[in-house]
């Protein structure tokens, strides 16, 4: 039981050291991630469409 208390105390000490991002930084990071996800989805969708049509043309 003493080890659990010591662990929890150490966890609290580490949480105090964490530098949390501000609202503006969080919003900007989220926007960048969403934009990149959209770009990658469009890219992969395009590649899938082209390769699907190519394979369909070959199998006909």
Tens of pLDDT, residue by residue over 3-39, are 999 999 999 999 999 999 999 999 999 999 999 999 9
Q: Measure CA of the first residue to CA of the last residue in the chain; give whole Å.
A: 70
At 28 the pLDDT is 98
Question: For residues 60 and 55, what is the distance between their CA atoms, to the nearest angstrom?
Answer: 9
Helix (H) or strand (E) holding 48: helix 23-59
What letter does residue 3 receive in the DSSP assignment?
Answer: H
pTM of the predicted model, to two decimals? 0.67
3-state secondary structure of 18: coil
């Amino acid at each position: 039981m003493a080890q659990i208390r010591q662990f929890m105390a150490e966890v609290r000490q580490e949480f105090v050291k964490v530098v949390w991002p501000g609202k503006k930084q969080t919003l900007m990071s989220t926007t960048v991630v969403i934009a990149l996800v959209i770009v990658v989805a469009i890219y992969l969708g395009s590649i899938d469409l082209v390769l699907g049509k190519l394979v369909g043309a070959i199998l006909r």
